[in-house]
Structure formats: structure tokens, C-alpha cells
Amino acid sequence: MTRGIKHRMKAKRKNKGSKKGEGSSSVPPQHPVKVWQPGVDKLEEGEELQCDPSAYNSLHAFHIGWPCLSFDIVRDTLGLVRTEFPHTVYFMAGTQAEKASWNSIGIFKVSNITGKRRELVPKHEGDEDGEDSDSDDDSDDEDENGARGPTLQLRKVTHEGCVNRIRSMSQNPHICAAWTDTGYVQVWDLSSHLNALAESETEGIQGAAAVFTQDPLSKYKHKDEGYAIDWNPLVPGRLVSGDCKNCIYLWEPTSAATWNVDNTPFVGHTASVEDLQWSPAEPDVFASCSVDGSIAIWDTRRGKSPAASFKAHNADVNVISWNRLASIMLASGSDDGTISIRDLRLLKEGDSVVAHFEYHKHPITSIEWSPHEASSLAVSSSDNQLTIWDLSLEKDEEEEAEFKAQTKELVNAPEDLPPQLLFIHQGQKDLKELHWHAQIPGMIVSTAADGFNILMPSNIQSTLPSDGA
């Protein structure tokens, strides 16, 4: 399957016009529009980057106060597969405030997310590419009366220390686990805040967010702070947490609100454990990655040593993602900017890498497979780019030639872009984490030093099985 490259770049470049009132026309001179090549092109005097709105079905930005290193999308009851605008989404996020006592866990609701309607395309046998079904009744951030589109409602729970990572339990979304820079992992019940936001259109409107104090359901003190944490998708309440002292601990639920943490850690890495992911298919198996450059596979039934361990990158392995639609696939991102995809069935053969990309030149900060397309994943990097990849794509020389002939001089797309690179999103500074929305196909949320983006690229298309398929 192949797709054109015209929407890979988010930003376009054009010369600025003269300022009004300086003896010049109010209509800026026309200049060729070019695709911006991040890391290659440089802005010349009098030039600026402009977002190409045609590249998105939806794009919105917001901020919750302090920068946020980690967040999670909360599974809701508004529908399993939602395609109609406007959308409503719920999040949990932790702050990175200047003082420890100023931090909080934010529970927020963003409603009236506008955009261009795009239907899911049924995938028929033998049909590789579905036809677009964009409507013409697009809506913008402001309506004809000047009213803003998305509305942010926010409630805060006080949290001592910065939140390194936060994750919502998929089976009980009101329960979340949060890593703090003080060395604690804490489990919270945020149901009252989610309920309050769901029942009101005015509760916690941004600028007047209520701050609450409550105790966590459970907490455990590691020997050092950490970042790695994951809820088991198959066993409700089962949790693993890993720290910078290379120790991983297993949490087993003993009731709806209590956990037993095994004080004997899983040990196999020689440096900080950076990320953890439970297998989507086996309830006792999880993966970990480390600053030591390795990835380990663990089976809780086989003791505290890894069942398998292998060198994954030539630098720190920062993040991993286990494909929930194709459980044989594990993706990883490194401090050197490389991305690797492995087929875990090939581990015993010694070379399990089925794809390796060196597009990013700065550390990978987040990586996640799409919950709707088994071949697609999204990546964020310290180079201020969020990229979307589709491993099913291959270079089509005839299609590329036709595209270049149509665009002629207007597009200076570089020749060496991997054909699997589907989209590049820019505009955020110091990107930290991203997540796909499991119930809204094509929606990605990302956090950075300058706030959140909600984006739906126009060339990201999900498919649904047709009746009887």
C-alpha cells in the first residue's frame, strides 16, 4: 500500500509581506510555497513558518499551567468508536512545578473539539486503499459569532513533588498510578473528579480550577525515583514499576483499593529502567528497557531474572511500546534518535529487527503503536517533531514521479525520507509524551514544555472490517 507525501510536513514556508502603513500594499507579494524540511532548511531573513491547515482534520492547543512531563488519556463511556465532531476527551496529567508543593495531578475534560468530519472506511478484501469521505461542513476554532471552539475544564489534586509519569488503569480508568521525583509510586482514585467534570459544563473552567487535597489509595517507596510504570491490560490492578536503581517491583491487587508490593525486585539491567510494557497477550509477561542499551523480557512465573535479554540500541533505550493488535511486534526508541521494530518470534535467531529508522537525530521521548492500525505508530523526539510511521508503506516510483510533476517547483521534498514516514507534526517545544486516543480513530494528544496539542492528521485513516469480513 502506498500513499502520497504531500501531508508529511506540517509547516510550510513563505516570505513575509511588508507591514501596513509603510507605503506598501496591504496584499503581501506572492512567493512560492515550499515544504519545510526540519533539520535541513533554515529560515532566511523575512521568512516565517506557517501551519498548513489542510494537513489536519483537527488541531488544537491548550495549557494547564505548569509544564507536564506525562499524561494519560482516560477511557470514557462516550462511545467505543467515535467519528463525529465535536469530540470530548478526558485526561489525567502531572505537573513539573517550580516548587515541590506547587505540583498537582490535573484531571481535565476538553469538550467541543472541532474539525473536519472523516468517516471510517470499511476495508474490503482485496481493497488496499479506501476512499476519503471528508465532508464540506468544516468547523474552525471560532464560529461565526466569535465563540471559541474547545472548552477546558480542570480539577486539581495536590501532589508533593513533580510527577515523572502517570498512567490510568484501562479496566478502571478512574484509578491511576503516578511516579514522583521523591521516589514514591502512588495509586489514586480520581473518580469524584471525573464524575464532577462529566456532570457539569462549567465545573473547573480554566482559570478557576478547584484544588483538592486527598490521600492516595496506596503508595510504595523505591530506593530512587523512576519513570517506568505500566498497568496490566489483562489482569485488573496488576502493576509494575521500575526505578533509576535498575529495580522493578510487582504490585498485586489484594482488593479494590489495596495492593501488595513484592519487596524482592526483578533485577537484570545494569542501569536505570526507563520504561515498562506488559504483554497484550500474556498476563504474566512484561518487557523493560534501560539506560544500559538493552531490552529484557520477563515472566513473573519464572523468578526474578529476565527470560530473555538483548542489546537493542547503541545508546540509552528510553521508551518501548508493545503492539496490542500484533503482539509479536515491539517498538523501541533510543537516546541517539533511532527507532527499532522487532519481531519477538525471531529473538532466538539473533536478529529480530524488522525495521530500523534513523530519521530523528535527537533523543526519542515517546513511542506508541496505534490502537486502530497494527502497522502504524507515533513517535516524539527532542528535536521538536512528532512523526507518524506506517510500516505497510513502500516506495512507489511511479506515484512519486506523478506527485512531483503535479507540484513542480512548489514542493522541495527531500529525496531520502523513508517511505514509511507518513506525517511530521511540528510547533511544540521540547516534546515529552504522546498518546493515541483509543476511542477516537486518528486522534493523537501530545505534551511539551509549552503545553498540549490535540491533532488529527488528514492523511491518517483507520479501517473497520466490513460486514461479513
Higher-scoring residue by pLDDT: 434, 124? 434
Residue 202: DSSP 8-state: S
The answer to whether residues 165 and 206 touch, using CB atoms and an 8 Å cutoff, is no
Q: Which residues pair with 309 in a beta bridge?
A: 296
- Given a cut of 60, whether residue 40 has pLDDT beyond it is yes
Respond yes or no on whether the N-terminal peptide bond of residue 86 is cis (omega within 30° of 0).
yes
Q: Which residues pair with 295 in a beta bridge?
A: 289, 310
Helices (H) then strands (E): counts for the chain:
2, 35
- What is the Cα–Cα distance from 267 to 409, expressed in whole angstroms? 57
- Given a cut of 90, whether residue 193 has pLDDT beyond it is yes
In percent, the amount of the chain with pLDDT more than 90 equals: 70
Q: What is the CA radius of gyration of the chain?
A: 23
CB neighbours (10 Å) of residue 161?
A: 22
- What is the Cα–Cα distance from 239 to 249, expressed in whole angstroms? 8
- Given a cut of 70, whether residue 277 has pLDDT beyond it is yes
pLDDT at 350: 81
Higher-scoring residue by pLDDT: 207, 450? 450
- Given a cut of 90, whether residue 347 has pLDDT beyond it is yes
- Given a cut of 50, whether residue 21 has pLDDT beyond it is no
Name the amino acid, one letter, at 301: R
Mean pLDDT of 212-237: 97
Mean pLDDT of 102-110: 96
Residue 44: DSSP 8-state: P
Mean pLDDT of 428-434: 96
- What is the pLDDT confidence band of residue 404, given thresholds at 50, 70 and 90? low
- Taking alpha carbons only, the member of 91, 115, 235, 98 closest to residue 166 is 91
Containing 160, the helix (H) or strand (E) segment is none
- What is the pLDDT confidence band of residue 400, given thresholds at 50, 70 and 90? low
- Taking alpha carbons only, the member of 139, 125, 137 closest to residue 463 is 125
- Given a cut of 60, whether residue 313 has pLDDT beyond it is yes
- Given a cut of 90, whether residue 125 has pLDDT beyond it is no
pLDDT at 255: 86
- What is the pLDDT confidence band of residue 437, given thresholds at 50, 70 and 90? very high
- What is the Cα–Cα distance from 197 to 178, expressed in whole angstroms? 21
Higher-scoring residue by pLDDT: 91, 19? 91
The answer to whether residues 434 and 378 touch, using CB atoms and an 8 Å cutoff, is yes
CATH numbers and ranges of domains, the chain? 222-358 (2.130.10.10)
Strands 175-180 and 184-189, bridge-based pairing: antiparallel
Reading across the β-sheet that carries 104-113, which strands appear in turn?
68-73, 87-95, 104-113, 151-158, 210-212
Higher-scoring residue by pLDDT: 389, 7? 389
Mean pLDDT of 38-59: 78
Alpha-helical regions (H) of 122-236: 191-199
pTM comes to 0.85
Of 147-151, 192-196, 269-273, 462-466, least confident by mean pLDDT is: 462-466
- What is the Cα–Cα distance from 169 to 174, expressed in whole angstroms? 7
Of 238-242, 303-307, 397-401, least confident by mean pLDDT is: 397-401
